[in-house]
Each structure stands twice: as C-alpha cells, then as structure tokens.
Structure 1
Amino acid sequence: MARILIRAGKDPFTAVVPETTLTQDVFNSNSGNFLFQHSVWKALDVAPHELVANSTLSERRAATADDAARMNDEFDHFVVPMANSFRADFADKLDNLAALVEQLTIPVTVIGIGAQAPADRSFDALADVRDVTRRFVAAVLERSASIGVRGEFTRDFLVDLGFPGDSIDVIGCPSLFLHGPDLKVRDVPASLAEDAALGLNLTPEVPGIGAFATEQGARHPNLTYVGQDQHDLRLLLWGVPHPHVTDPLVPAHLRHPLYQQDRMRLFVDTWSWYDFLAQQDFVYGTRFHGNVAALLAGTPALMLAHDSRTLELAEYHRMPHRLQPRFDEPVRVEDLLEATDLAPFHEALPERFDRYAAFLERNGLEHRWQPGRDASQFDDRLEAASFPPAVHTLARPDLGEVAARLDWLRHAMVIDMTRHPKRYDYPFDTPAYQGAGSRHARLADQRDERAKRQQQRIDELTARIDRLERVTPGGLLVRLARRLRALFRG
C-alpha cells in the first residue's frame, strides 16, 4: 500500500459549510480549484492506496525542516495538482512550495501547472516569475520523470527557461478527465426560449464585463450568475462588496439587480455544482472552470477566453470558445450558442485522456483506468457523502440565507466576543459576559456551584480516610473508598 499526499484544500468527501470555507480559505480563494484537485484524487484513489489532503499548507507558510521530515517519513509520493501558478501574485507561494520540494526525498509529481499572461502570450509578462519558476521546476524534475503542464504556451516558457522539452508533458487540465475518456455533452439546442435556464460565469477584472453581465441579466430572466472566488462568497454570505471592483455594473455588490433578485449562486463542493449546471440549457462566460463544470455536468458551454491561460486550455482541449479580452460591444447569447461546436471537443477527448494517463504512468502513479484497478473505495465514499446546498444571496425571498447567517453567528458568539474589532474593552478586569439572567449564565452558575459542593465533599472524605488509616481496620477504608468512587460516578 502506498500513502499519497495530495495538494488539496480538502478531500472530495468532507462537507465544509460555506462560512468555514471562507474564514479558513478551504478552497484556496476559488471553488474552481476543487475541480482539478478532486479529479486527480478520483484518478489515484485505488485500493489499497491511502490518499491524504495536505490542506495546501505547503504554500500557506514557509516550509520547515519538520514539514519535510514528516512528509518523507509518512508518505510515499507527493502529488501536486496545480493551476495558473506561474504568475506574479503567486510567486511567494510558489517559492514556499519550491523550498519544501527541495527538502523532499520522495517522488513529487506536478499535474496541470500553467503560466498566466495577457492574450498576446508574450513571455515579457512573466519576467517577474522566471527565477522562482526555474527554481520550482528544477526541484520537481529532480524528483520526477516529467512535469505536466497545461498547454503549449507553458511548455514553450519552460523550454525558454532552459528545461529540456522531453521532460515537459502537455496534458491540459486534469479537471476535464473526471469521467475518463467517455464524457459526452448533450447536443447544443437549436435555439433558446425566452425563459431558457442560462448559467453565466465571469471575471470581474475583464474590461467592460460589467455592462455585459448586467445586459445579459436584463435580457434573460432565468439567467443565474455562478460565482467562484472568495469575494463572491463573502458578498453572498455577508453582503460585503468586492474590495477591488469599482464598476457598479459588475455584480460585485448587493445593490446589483442580480443580487437583489437572488440570481447569484456559489457552490463550495463540485458535486452540487455539477447537479445545478446539469439543469441549465446553456452556460457561458470567462471562467475556465466555470465552463468545465458545465461540460462535466453534460451541459453545452462556450468560454470567452480573455487571457493566455484560458486560451491555452481552450485550444488544447478544443473546447468551444472565442477570444474575448474585453467587452467593447454587446454580446448576444444567440450568437454564442450558434458558435458552440462540441464535435472537436468530443473528438479530441480520448487522445487527450490517453496523454494524461500516460503521464501518470510515466511518473509511477497507478490510476483507476488501468485494467484490474479497484476504485470502489472512492465511489462508495462519494455515494455516502452529503454536501451543503448552493449559497444564495441575502435577498432570498424565504429569508433562509439570513436565518443561516444568524445561526452561524449565534454559534460563534462566544468566540466573537473576544476578538470582534468593535468590542468594548473594559477599563478594569471584568468577568466574561454571559448575559445577565440568561440560560447560559444560569447553567454556568449551576455548574460552578455543583463543582464546589463536590470538591468540598471530596476534601471531607479524603480527610476522614487520612484519619482512619491510623486508627481503624482496613474494611472501613474499603467502604469509604467505594463511597468515593460512587461520588465520582455521580
């Protein structure tokens, strides 16, 4: 049996409520990360191997010698599903991860890593990450047969850094291989009714996307915007606007029509996300994993590729897409539907999957699609699991979201009283507040009084035993000891 440590926020079976997902950043700032992390998990979860999530601790802080020692001692392989990690704002985390890998003696396999640049795909935009990328890739290749990258652009970048081409396998994103080589997306509808169920995903920073999103919502009454990142989740849970988005037309604040009409959702697990998208007629937008989730659910989708990472992946997997680095002109969903051709995607999938499987085998990783592999442990655990429903806006008509938030806050009240930034600091030492006359206060008083009486009785009996040890036969001591035990049990 092999023990495999996987870079993942959590395993695919553990339900984490949305509030905790946000406060502990379980999804690493974006729910799309679960798609590729859990797809890799499903591929490798074969008996009798044991898989463990590392909670992405490897990049949350600088690695220590103890971290590496534990991994070397407890695990046989470190598997690292990645995304667009060769980018400036990920450089410090990549540096932490490189420092850890350099201390490992076990094999390390990186799956699906990519570079991020503007749509013109110039290496100039990657100047700030060249050194850390070189350090990380060098450490990985010392511990693996190859590194798996998202597409040709990323491979060319690594070759430009001096790495040999035969050590770089282009495998795309593992998320699209969740169902193996036989995924079939249903046919694109010939037309859309006025009340068609549409799924929209978007990247708030793309120029002009606010007008696009607002206009789409106004034209299509059954359109739902599915958010993905931590700012979307904070907005849905607490009404807090995105801190870096100033365009009022972007659905990034609670006054936007899509928020007020409760036409926004976010999923903190992939399986409920797939279930929702399976009910949509068509999905479109700028998020790669937002559109992948639709395809995995069997729903036609078209990606509006706005930068190198989305374009690279769309081209490699031959996903329906069009280049859309900005939204200067109105976009009609009818035109997007007409441009959606799934035939190239279906034709490419088996060959792309074979490349992925060959990469896993090249790096010594057994997977569920090999003959004779027992993958029932994954399937059984997933069947038994249950997950939180979609997160709505606070404008949900039945007030269910408001009640859920208040319930979470009520359970966190004691903790919040000690750390809330607007708490009142007493000028003198004051006992912790429990609410005068409240049930909590009464119970606390009762517990204190009961404990005091028990301690007094224990002290009395102990003193009697001390005296009787000197003047009485042993039988009386035994009886008193029994009374003591009875008291403790009571």
Structure 2
Amino acid sequence: MKKILVRAGMSPLDTFGADEIIKRNAIGNNVGNLIYAFSIFRNLSTYNVKLVPDYYRVNPADAEKINQTYDSYVLPLANAIRPGFIPTLRKYTDLIEKLTIPVIVIGMGMAFPYEPNVKQERPFDNDVRKFVSAVLEKSNILGLRGQITSDYLSHLGFKEGRDHMVIGCPSMYTFGNNINIRDLDLNSNSFISINMTPKADQKALKFLSSLSREYKNLEFIPQDLDEMILTYSGAPFLGNAVNSIINNYPNSLKSALYKNNQVKFFLSAPSWIKHMKHVNLSIGTRLHGNVAPILAGTPSIVIPIDGRMRELAEFHNFPRVSVNEIHEDMELEKLIKMVDIHSVEKNQKRNYENFISFLDKNNLESVHLYDKKGLKTQFDEKIEQISLKSPIAPITSCNNEEMCERLQNSFDVLLKKYEKEKNKNNNKFKAKNSTITKLRSELNKKNKLNESLRFKINSVENSKSWKLTKPLRELKNLNK
C-alpha cells in the first residue's frame, strides 16, 4: 500500500478536543483549514493509498526519513504567498530540495489586495521562485487557487499550462461534482448563519451585524484561533481580532452574539458541513465559512474582501456581492435579489474535471469514479465509525463543572505557551548576548590597533629628523 504524507494540522479522522487543538494549533490559526484537509484526504484515500498528516511539521532534517517512509508528499498550501508565511516557505524549499519522492502542491494561492498589481516587485519574489522551481523538480505541474496567482507566477517566469494551472480551491471538490443548492425561501424565522473577518470593510461588518436584530434564528461562526480560545475559555490570550477594538464585530464575551449563545466554533469539517444542512442561508466575508454550506447544499453568499477571495469567488462562480454594492440600511432581501443562488453549480462539473486532470498529470489516484457513481468511499465509512466532536459554544453557556474544566485546561495550555515563549526569548537573548560579546571583542581589537597606530604617528611627529608624510597625516585625521 502506498503512503502519502499530507501537509495538515490534523487528519479528519483525528478527534482532538478543543484544548488539544488550541495546544497544537491544529487548525493552523484558521478552522477553515479543516475543510481544506478534509477534501484532500477524502479525494486521495483510495483502497491502495493511505494518507498521513505531517501535523504542520517542516524540518529539512526529516528528508531522509520522509524519503524512506512515504511514496509522495502532498502540500495543500492555501494562501502561502504572503509575507508572514515566507520563512516557512523557505523551510519547505530546503526540505523539498533534499527529497527524492514526488512533491505535489495542490491549491496554492496568494494574499494580495482586491486589485493587485502582479508585476509589482515584492521582497519575497525570489523565495517564491526558488520554492516553485524546487517543486517542479519533483512534480509535473502546480495547482493554483485562481487566475491572479497564475498571473503572478507567470510574471515570475513560470509558464501557465506547463508549470502551473488554475484548479480553484480543493475544498470545493470534497464530494466531487455533487453540489446541488437548495432553493431559498427567506422569512423572519429563517435560520441564518453569518461569518465575518476582522479586517473586512466596515460597510460589510455593519450590514452583517445588523442581521441579528432582524433574524432571531441567527448564528455566528468564527474561524480564527484566538476566537476559538475566546469561545472556549473566555480568555483571549493570543491576541489579534479578540484583543482589538473593532466596531460591528463580535470579539468579546460582551458582544450580543456571545451573550445570547449564538456562537458555534466547529472542531471538524464533517460536523461543520452536517450542521450547515439545517441552515437556510449563509452569508459573510469568509471563504470556507461559505464553502461549508455550499458542500451541504445550503444557499450561500460571499462578500470578497481581497484578491485571495476574489480569484476563488470568480473561478467557482460563487453567489457574491462586492463591498461597494453594500450601502447604508441595505436589506438582506434586496441583496439576495442581486445574486443567483445556484450560480456555483454552473462551473462545478467543468472545474471538477479540471481538478481530476491535474491529479492525473501528477500521477495521483483519486476516488472520482466513486463520486461519479454516487458510491460511498472507504474514507466515508471510516468517518462514520468515529465519534465527531460537537462544536463548542461560549463558555458563559456552560454549567459550572464544564466551565471549571475549560478554565483549567486553558490555564494549562497558557502556562505551556508561556514557558515556550520564555525559552524562545531566552534563546534570543543568549544569541544577542553572544553577538554583542563578539562585537565588543572586535571593537577592543580595533581600539588596540588604533592606539598602536596613534603611538607610531606621535613618535614620528616628535622626531626632529622626520616629517609627517601625507599618508600618516590622513591616518591621524581618520583616527581623531
């Protein structure tokens, strides 16, 4: 049986609790990554193949072990082309250069502005070139999330169709070509699910926040790690959105949605998708916050806020509205009339066939024949055999026993995080001290040389039989 190593914080078959996910950061800072991983595992888990998560470990020193243990390495990278991920991208480049097995990148994208200039020079351009070149040495073609990313790699010198191709987001192919969106009949009792991004435009945030006043059966599904911690323990000790003052965004237990127990944070992709089958409409500024309902057949509307979301929304033909189309006092019913709820179905067959073509080009087996015939896969059977964790609700909705357990677990996680940061800072401090000591040593040597030079110059000046030559005068002036 073949074994494939997959970049993932956890396998869909792992049943980590909230405290374990927080400790490991198994969601890679965003729970949307679980949808991404679920698709890869379900698509590639054939009867001849076993997939193993790498738990986000990337160390060039592991190359020999990986070569001996696995037949290939699959890297779902999402928005990897961004400044914050470049150090990790460099590590992957070093690792890939040492690997002898195939390395396949599935769904790499960029985090650029809504209207990016792909030809603009960026400080990480060479890092991206080196990474792509290393991957192409180990596979036939890269799969990209959208056309903007494709244009960027073409600008860097790689040819579309030969070196890279647009495949969209793999999460959209979780169940193959089987996307059928239910019709929408909205009323005041409809079950509405909203998702938001802290950095979204205030027009979008204000509109989404206002829906809770009109629709009582409404829930908010956060995705970031710090929001998970806030929901689980009430202690936002990791920062970002939770520790910032953001108007019209539910980022504290004082927010109405948290107070009214209208928040759910999911711990697995299957449970998230299953839950969305009972929702009438999903709307928001999150990508996977709207992919989950689409996979469940639920009407969904995306509000793209950057180039990353824009290229995917356009490729998959998501029902969408731009931020500029949202105005003061806009009603949800009016916004719904601006989109075709079923538009996402129209491109799915073509996009899925393109995705399977990409897998074939890289010699990856898939379960597409099972999906085509509507059959249950081996992976589906394994998912049915495990007990999936329920989504977590705000700590304020728990009984005293669970509240105490959450607080204790959170304290233990925080303590370990503190110790880790402390050791990290101590190592940095030691490294800085070592550098300072070295510089002081070099400075002392230089000072001794300067003192010796001054002594020689003074000796020559004081000599009656010698005149100070021009070179020595210049040296003297230089050392003043």
- 1:337-348 map, 5 Å: 337-348=336-347
Give per-residue Cα distances to partners, 1:272-303, cap 9 Å, x unaligned. 11122111110000001100001001100010
Distance 2:76 2:411 in 1: 37
Q: Which residue of 2 aligns with 1:379?
A: 380
Is 1:302 aligned to residue 310 of structure 2?
Answer: no
Which of 47, 60, 65 aligns to 1:64? It is 60
The alignment of Structure 1 onto Structure 2 pairs a total of residues equal to: 411
What is the CA deviation profile of residues 144-163 of structure 1, one whole-angstrom value per residue up to 9, with x for unaligned ones? 00000011111110000011
Deviation at 1:51, TM superposition (A): 1.2
Aligned match of 2:187 in 190, 193, 197?
193
**Cα deviation 1:116-173 (Å, max 9, x = unaligned):** 1111122267713312211111111111000000111111100000112221111000
Cα 1:163–1:13, aligned 2, differ >3 Å: closer, same or farther? same
Q: Give the counterpart letter for 2:129 in structure 1.
A: R
1:168 corresponds to 2:202: no
Distance in 2, matches of 1:126 and 1:335, equals 41
Q: 1:102 aligns with which of 97, 115, 135?
A: 97
1:135 aligns with 2:118: no
CA distance, structure 2, for counterparts of residue 125 and residue 325 of structure 1: 25
Contact in 2 for aligned 1:117/1:126 (Cα 8 Å): no
CA distance, structure 2, for counterparts of residue 199 and residue 228 of structure 1: 13
Inter-partner Cα distance in structure 2 for 1:177 and 1:342: 19
Q: Contact 1:8 / 1:55 at 8 angstroms: preserved in 2?
A: yes
Distance 1:196 1:49 in 2: 43
1:231, distance to aligned residue in structure 2 (A) = 1.5
- The verdict on how the C-alpha distance between 1:153 and 1:392 changes in structure 2, with shifts beyond 3 A counting, is same
Tell me: CA distance 1:210–1:151, structure 2 relative to 1, closer, same or farther (3 Å): closer
In structure 1, the residue matched to 2:334 is 335
- Counterpart in the other structure of 1:457: none
Deviation at 1:333, TM superposition (A): 1.6
Distance 1:117 1:358 in 2: 27
Are 1:268 and 2:262 an aligned pair?
Answer: no
Partner residue, 1:53: 53
Counterpart in the other structure of 2:248:
249
Which position in structure 1 is the counterpart of 2:36? 36
C-alpha displacement of 1:211: 2.7
| Greater Cα shift, 19-28 or 334-343 | 334-343
Match of 1:406 among 392, 404, 408: 404
Query: When the two structures are superposed, what TM-score results if normalisation uses the length of structure 1?
Result: 0.79
Q: Secondary structure at the match of 1:237?
A: helix
Q: Secondary structure at the match of 2:358?
A: helix
- The answer to whether the 8 A contact 1:274-1:294 is kept is yes
Which residue of 2 is the match for residue 318 of structure 1?
Answer: 317
Q: Which residue of 1 aligns with 2:394?
A: 393
Aligned-pair distance for 1:243?
4.6
- Residue 155 (structure 2) pairs with residue 157 (structure 1): no
**What are the superposed Cα offsets for residues 151-208 of structure 1, whole Å, 9 maximum, x if unpaired?**
111111000001122211110001010111122111232xx21121100001011131
For 1:325 and 1:24, the matched residues in 2 are separated by: 39
Q: Is 1:204 matched with 2:190?
A: no
Aligned partners of 1:4 and 1:51 also within 8 Å: yes
Sort the Cα spacing of 1:127 and 1:327 in 2 relative to 1 into closer, same or farther, 3 A.
farther
Q: Which of 234, 241, 263 pairs up with 1:239?
A: 234
Aligned to 2:214: 219
Q: How far is 1:410 from its partner?
A: 5.0
- Report the aligned-residue RMSD: 2.4
Q: Which consecutive residues of structure 1, in runs of 5 or more, have no partner in the other structure?
A: 422-490
C-alpha distance in structure 2 between counterparts of 1:81 and 1:414, whole Å: 31
Displacement of 1:390 after TM fit? 1.2
Question: How far apart are 1:407 and its partner, in Å?
Answer: 2.2
Given candidates 52, 64, 73, the residue that maps to 2:68 is: 73
Asked if the contact 1:205–1:245 (Cα under 8 Å) also holds between the matched residues in 2, the reply is no
* Equivalence for 2:175: 179
Secondary structure, counterpart of 2:123 in structure 1: helix
Equivalent position of 1:148 in the other structure: 143
Tell me, which stretches of 5 or more residues in structure 2 are unaligned?
A: 420-480
User: 2:196–2:205: 8 Å Cα contact kept in structure 1?
Assistant: no
The 5 A counterparts of 1:458-477 are none
Paired letter, 1:131 = N
Distance (Å, rounded) in 1 between the aligned partners of 2:369 and 2:208: 44
Instruction: String of CA shifts for 1:387-429, please: whole Å, max 9, x gaps.
Output: 1111111232xx34x53242245578889899988xxxxxxxx
**Structure 1 residues 18, 408: CA separation in 2 closer, same or farther (over 3 Å shift)?**
same
Q: Is the 8 A contact 2:141 2:164 kept in 1?
A: yes
User: How far off is 1:328 after superposition?
Assistant: 6.3
Any conservation in 2 of the 1:206–1:326 contact (CA below 8 Å)?
no
- Partners of 2:151 and 2:193 lie apart in 1 by 34
- 1:83 Cα deviation after fit: 0.6
- Asked whether the 8 Å contact 2:118–2:151 carries over to 1, the reply is no
Q: Which moved more, 1:373-382 or 1:169-178?
A: 373-382
Aligned partner of residue 180 in structure 1, secondary structure: coil
